[in-house]
Amino acid sequence: MRLAHVTVFLVFACAISFPPPAFGAEEPLTAEAIGRMADVLGDRQLASPGETAGGIVTRGASLRDLYRATVGAVPIVVAQDGTGSSIVISVNRTESWGLVVTNRHVVEKPFRTNKGEPRVLLLFYDPQLAGEPFSPAKIEKCIQSGEKNPFCDALRKSLRVAAVLGTDPARDLALLYVEDVPPGVTPIQEASLETVEPGDDVAVVGHPKGFLWSLTRGIVSAVRSKYPMGESQGTVIQTQTPIAPGNSGGPLLTMEGRLIGVITWQLAGSQGLNGAIAVNEVQKFAAELAAKSRKQ
């Protein structure tokens, strides 16, 4: 597999060179991957726009606008033994490839190519998928048989294989490369961490257990700049925003739809207090990964 260096302009306003994997005929979906995707999606529902995972209709045009502006950039991630949310942070408009960030624990056990390279599956949002329920048999049939109908067409159009470029266990972050981002997907732009304060309204779009593309809202409880991360410290945003398993790796957003953190964990087992790796840590992780790739 030949790796060609390309210049990636991240949303973090820094030019970074990555050697993205060369995808090709050796990247078909395996029966294992198809079966795993079918099992994951088969027990989930699609949350309608303007609804939370609990089915509560959101109020106010701003939340509806936020959802519509960001939902396309929050694909669900399916690994061999992990499921979560993710965030499109950069798209090369000329060549249509993109970078996606998620949690390391979501992709800890990826699928493997014949050459042992780590891959995961991403399913991007498509309105057509909201029209019919998911089932494992239906999903497998759509992918394997090439059946022509609106649901199967939308499913195949929205499904992608992504390469795992690198991970950071201490920050619980992973960076993915997608060769062909669906048309119309707009990266989520970052916010300035300096503007974030306790009491700020925030929102989360993701895939909590039982639902796909769900919206919840809450507030920033605290910004903790010296939270333990492995052998060092980093910034975590504590938020009182409802999340559930499956939200991991998804975006914590300002009310303007800008990224301030990546949902990661429930803080110290506390009910209602959840943690997000702050956007500045995502910036550092991407820069460190790029520097490492240039040395290889």
Question: Which of 52-61, 194-203, 228-237, 249-258 has the weakest average pLDDT?
Answer: 52-61
| pLDDT averaged over every residue in the chain | 82
- Give the pLDDT band of residue 36 (cuts 50, 70, 90): confident
Quote the CA–CA distance of 295 and 40 in Å, as a whole number: 38
The verdict on 226 and 114 lying in the same domain is: no
Q: Which structural domain range is residue 248 located in?
A: 193-295
Within-domain flag for 187: no
Each residue's pLDDT tens digit, 62-85: 899 999 999 999 999 999 988 999
CATH code where residue 272 lies:
2.40.10.10
Q: Is-contact 144 134, C-beta < 8 A?
A: no
Within-domain flag for 244: yes
Within-domain flag for 1: no
| Total count of domains within the chain | 2
The verdict on 93 and 231 lying in the same domain is: no
- Give the pLDDT band of residue 37 (cuts 50, 70, 90): confident
Give the highest mean pLDDT range of 23-27, 176-180, 292-296.
Answer: 176-180
The verdict on 100 and 54 lying in the same domain is: yes
Quote the CA–CA distance of 84 and 89 in Å, as a whole number: 16
The verdict on 198 and 174 lying in the same domain is: no
User: If phi over 0 gives left and psi between -120 and 50 gives alpha, with beta otherwise, what is residue 285?
Assistant: alpha
Residue 15, pLDDT above cutoff 50: no
Quote the CA–CA distance of 215 and 205 in Å, as a whole number: 5
The verdict on 12 and 153 lying in the same domain is: yes
Within-domain flag for 183: no
Q: What is the pLDDT of residue 1?
A: 28
- Give the pLDDT band of residue 295 (cuts 50, 70, 90): low
What is the pLDDT averaged over residues 162-191?
A: 94
Q: What is the pLDDT of residue 47?
A: 56
The verdict on 41 and 170 lying in the same domain is: yes
Each residue's pLDDT tens digit, 100-114: 999 999 999 999 988
The verdict on 283 and 221 lying in the same domain is: yes
